[in-house]
């Protein structure tokens, strides 16, 4: 029997599990992916003993949540009791794979109690919430409602001789933990921090964050960034929980110094990995979506000059706009060096690099839109000409007696020849292709654009590395790409994510799951984890950049050399790597990683204060 099966056997049927996250039915960050992708595995393992709790704050929650008002389950009865008190609570199902039982709380319905909530938090836990912060008000109100729900649910579990585990993700979902602990409510609590709040602030502002980490005074640093109440709340959750966990060894070190408690377990993040029954399907999908990317590239670049698409590779990076934390600075530096090396070595290939992130903008660049529209018109003209040629060629075949192949001019009307020529002439331009696809609200202050200007990496015809900066997330409704993010990833050749601060990092896993090679760093939780896996190597599409104990320029040189290595590899090797990348991705399937969660739940059930 596997370790996972043993863990489940010992608690199945005798324990109810409640997971609490701000991201339940609320797509606001990476934890949403963690919870949502894990649901099918959890429902399969836990059945009716699995429940999710989340806040009803998302304006589109109705499209993700189905209310069940007819249920007579114990959960529905508790929800009914809370509603009789005037609270806004709904029970039903989250409309994702697995359809998990879900309860949503509307924090606004208890805002009349906010003053008391804050007072008792200060009295019981010595945390003062004096500043007006609408988000913190919602978080505290949500925690108050969750605590009351869990108190009632715990009584039901006692009557049924069952244990109750409450697993809270991040401080926004963990505010009930200190009160549950103080009031000795029979709930075994687990708190998972996916990234410490203070760590994120420090990493963005301190280029030597990891060197300084052991010597930092967390309280003075929290005051400096004006996040003292939140930092104290996060510490209270970490210390109040029976079992404290985080997502990687990288973040575990951070927790020791900034939260004052060493994690009891590491819970790495996974995905639902779907494999194809035949290998060539991976390659077929890559070609399908690469053609769509090529269509964009032609519209964006070929107005000014052309290059051989058969010898073009598509690289990308994506995520929140954290210039240093996400490694955008290192990526740009490496691209500039790669451009120079490819020119020097006369490499007859082109790299198109996409930066896909979220930045404030006013509109899509009109020149970019117009160029794409004119290319669509050329495409329409070609379709019309092909239709006419086919009709007349067929007629000629049926009527000609000399079997002569008619000339093209005989098969195409002057109208279409002239229209085709004029459309192309109106499209061609002498200006350089735009680096950014949108009109940024703060163009002169944008660090990506400023680097490209200073490095003169501005899409000159002679550049081997071209850059497309897309300051909006890619979706099927985008007028520029017309496909969703997953399809875009499949069409690319390499994802680049050499993060400086990344507690886990889903993007490389998403690449591997789609058969796309990826670059990560040993300072990301994922990179730190994958380097200890046998398949976590370049043959399986995984490139690791060493950033721990390395300065910026040596890491940039490493990355530039890795990119050059990828550019010069053969097409055959890239196809082999594409198939092997999927093999590596299976290591991160929830069916394999959920064992870490089950082990943490066992620890919670066996928890004794003296053992902390």
Confidence of residue 398 (pLDDT cuts 50, 70, 90): confident
CA distance 542 to 286: 18
pLDDT (average), residues 439-449:
96
Give me the pLDDT at residue 9, please. Answer: 46
Pairing of β 15-21 and β 88-94: unpaired
CA distance 501 to 70: 47
Give me the pLDDT at residue 4, please. Answer: 46
3-state secondary structure 369-415: HHHHHHHHHHHHHHHHHHHHHHHHHHHHHHHCCCCCCCCHHHHCCHH
Distances (CA, A) of 493 to 14, 36, 65, 571, 575: 48, 27, 36, 11, 10
Give me the pLDDT at residue 415, please. Answer: 76
Confidence of residue 65 (pLDDT cuts 50, 70, 90): very high
**Residue pair 337/405 in contact by the 8 Å Cβ criterion:** no
**Domains in the chain: ranges and CATH:** 3-272+593-611 (3.40.50.2000), 280-365+431-588 (3.40.50.2000)
- Of 58, 41, 579, 488, which Cα lies nearest the Cα of 289? 488
Coil, strand or helix: which one is 186? coil
Give me the pLDDT at residue 377, please. Answer: 78
Give me the pLDDT at residue 371, please. Answer: 80
Q: Which pTM was predicted? A: 0.86
Tokens representing residue 164 in the block: 């109750």
* 260 Rama sector, left if φ>0, alpha if ψ -120 to 50, beta otherwise: left
Give me the pLDDT at residue 1, please. Answer: 44
pLDDT digits (tens, 9 = 90+) for 90-109: 999 999 999 999 999 999 99
Q: Which of 286-290, 400-404, 452-456 is predicted with the least confidence, judged by mean pLDDT? A: 400-404
Give me the pLDDT at residue 578, please. Answer: 86
Residues 6 or more apart whose Cβ sits within 8 Å of residue 502:
250, 325, 326, 521, 523, 524, 525, 526, 527
The values of phi and psi at residue 128, to 5°, are -100, 130
DSSP at 164: E
Confidence of residue 279 (pLDDT cuts 50, 70, 90): low
**Residue pair 281/226 in contact by the 8 Å Cβ criterion:** no
pLDDT (average), residues 100-121:
96
Does 274 or 80 have the greater pLDDT score?
80
Top mean-pLDDT range of 62-71, 213-222, 369-378, 478-487? 213-222
Q: Which of 269-278, 319-328, 469-478 is predicted with the least confidence, judged by mean pLDDT? A: 269-278
**Residue pair 461/305 in contact by the 8 Å Cβ criterion:** yes
* pLDDT for 11 beyond 80: no
Does 255 or 398 have the greater pLDDT score?
255
Residues paired with 244 in a beta bridge: 191
Confidence of residue 10 (pLDDT cuts 50, 70, 90): low
Give me the pLDDT at residue 326, please. Answer: 95
DSSP at 150: H
Q: Mean of the per-residue pLDDT values for the chain?
A: 91
Counting residues of the chain whose pLDDT is more than 70, the rounded percentage is: 95
- Of 550, 530, 553, 532, which Cα lies nearest the Cα of 542? 530
Give me the pLDDT at residue 61, please. Answer: 86
Coil, strand or helix: which one is 419? helix
CA distance 20 to 142: 11
Give me the pLDDT at residue 433, please. Answer: 95
Its sign, for the CA torsion 141, 145, 151, 153, is negative
CA distance 84 to 576: 61
Give me the pLDDT at residue 275, please. Answer: 56
CA distance 154 to 158: 6
Give me the pLDDT at residue 611, please. Answer: 44
Length of the chain: 612
For every residue of 210-251, DSSP letters joined together read HHHGGG--HHHHHHHTT-HHHHHHHHHHHHHSSEEEES-HHH
Confidence of residue 12 (pLDDT cuts 50, 70, 90): low
Distances (CA, A) of 182 to 27, 129, 148: 32, 19, 14
* pLDDT for 460 beyond 60: yes
Give me the pLDDT at residue 426, please. Answer: 75
Give me the pLDDT at residue 278, please. Answer: 45
Q: Which helix (H) or strand (E) holds 603?
A: helix 590-605
Counting residues of the chain whose pLDDT is more than 90, the rounded percentage is: 72
- Of 516, 508, 445, 531, which Cα lies nearest the Cα of 319? 508
Does 419 or 113 have the greater pLDDT score?
113
pLDDT digits (tens, 9 = 90+) for 501-540: 999 988 999 999 899 999 999 999 999 999 999 999 999 9
**Residue pair 500/202 in contact by the 8 Å Cβ criterion:** no
Residues paired with 494 in a beta bridge: 315, 517
What's the farthest any 2 CA atoms get from each other in the chain? Answer: 102
pLDDT (average), residues 562-583:
91
* pLDDT for 493 beyond 90: yes
* pLDDT for 6 beyond 60: no
Give me the pLDDT at residue 20, please. Answer: 98
Coil, strand or helix: which one is 580? helix
Please state the separation of Cα 567 from the chain's center in Å.
Answer: 26
H-state helical runs in 428-524: 447-455, 485-491, 507-513
Give me the pLDDT at residue 612, please. Answer: 42
**Residue pair 578/542 in contact by the 8 Å Cβ criterion:** no
Rg, the chain, Cα only: 28
């Amino acid at each position: 029997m596997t370790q996972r099966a043993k863990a489940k056997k010992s608690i199945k049927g005798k324990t109810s599990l409640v997971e609490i996250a701000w991201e339940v039915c609320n797509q606001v960050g990476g934890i949403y992916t963690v919870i949502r992708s894990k649901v099918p595995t959890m429902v399969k393992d836990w059945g009716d003993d699995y429940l999710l709790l989340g806040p009803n704050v998302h304006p589109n929650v109705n499209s993700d949540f189905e209310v069940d008002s007819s249920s007579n389950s114990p959960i529905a009865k508790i929800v009914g009791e809370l509603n009789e008190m005037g609270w806004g609570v709904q029970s039903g199902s989250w409309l994702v794979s697995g359809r998990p039982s879900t309860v949503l709380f509307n924090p606004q319905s208890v805002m009349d109690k906010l003053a008391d909530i804050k007072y008792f938090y200060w009295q019981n836990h010595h945390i003062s919430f004096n500043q007006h912060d609408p988000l913190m008000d919602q978080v505290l109100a949500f925690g108050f409602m969750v605590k009351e729900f869990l108190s009632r649910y715990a009584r039901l579990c006692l009557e049924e001789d069952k244990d109750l585990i409450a697993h809270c993700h991040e401080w926004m979902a963990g505010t009930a933990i200190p009160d549950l602990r103080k009031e000795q409510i029979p709930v075994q609590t687990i708190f998972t921090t996916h990234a410490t709040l203070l760590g994120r602030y420090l990493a963005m502002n301190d280029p030597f964050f990891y060197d300084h980490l052991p010597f930092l005074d967390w309280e003075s640093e929290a005051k400096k960034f004006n996040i003292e109440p939140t930092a104290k709340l996060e510490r209270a959750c970490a210390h109040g929980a029976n079992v404290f966990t985080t997502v990687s060894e990288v973040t575990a070190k951070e927790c020791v110094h900034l939260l004052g408690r060493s994690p009891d377990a590491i819970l790495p993040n996974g995905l639902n990995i779907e494999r194809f029954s035949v290998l060539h399907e991976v390659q077929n999908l890559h070609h399908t979506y690469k053609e769509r990317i090529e269509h964009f590239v032609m519209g964006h670049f070929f107005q000014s000059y052309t290059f051989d698409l058969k010898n073009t590779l598509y690289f990308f990076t994506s995520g929140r706009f954290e210039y240093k934390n996400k490694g955008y600075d290192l990526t740009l530096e490496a691209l500039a060096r790669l451009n120079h090396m490819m020119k020097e070595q006369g490499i007859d290939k082109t790299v198109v690099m996409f930066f896909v992130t979220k930045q404030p903008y006013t509109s899509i660049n009109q020149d970019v839109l117009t160029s794409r529209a004119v290319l669509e018109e050329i495409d329409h003209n070609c379709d019309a000409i092909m239709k006419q040629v086919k009709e007349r060629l067929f007629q000629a075949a049926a009527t000609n007696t000399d079997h002569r192949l008619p000339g093209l001019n005989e098969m195409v009307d002057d109208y279409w020849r002239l229209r085709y020529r004029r459309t192309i002439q109106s499209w061609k331009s002498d200006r350089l292709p735009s680096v950014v696809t949108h009109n940024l609200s703060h163009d002169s202050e944008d660090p990506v654009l400023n680097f490209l200007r200073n490095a003169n990496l501005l899409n000159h015809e002679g550049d081997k590395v071209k850059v497309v900066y897309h300051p909006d997330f890619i979706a099927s409704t985008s007028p520029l790409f017309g496909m969703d993010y997953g399809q875009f990833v499949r069409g690319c050749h390499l994802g680049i994510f050499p993060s400086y601060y990344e507690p886990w990092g889903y993007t490389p896993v998403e690449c591997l799951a789609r058969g796309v090679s990826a670059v990560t760093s040993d300072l990301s939780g994922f990179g730190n984890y994958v380097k200890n896996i046998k398949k976590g190597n370049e043959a399986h599409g995984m490139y690791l950049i060493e950033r721990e104990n390395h300065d910026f320029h040596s890491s940039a040189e490493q990355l530039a050399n890795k990119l050059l290595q990828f550019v010069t590899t053969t097409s055959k090797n890239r196809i082999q790597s594409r198939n092997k990348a999927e093999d590596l991705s299976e290591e991160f399937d929830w069916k394999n990683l959920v064992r870490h969660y089950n082990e943490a739940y066992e620890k919670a059930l066996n928890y004794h204060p003296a053992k902390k």
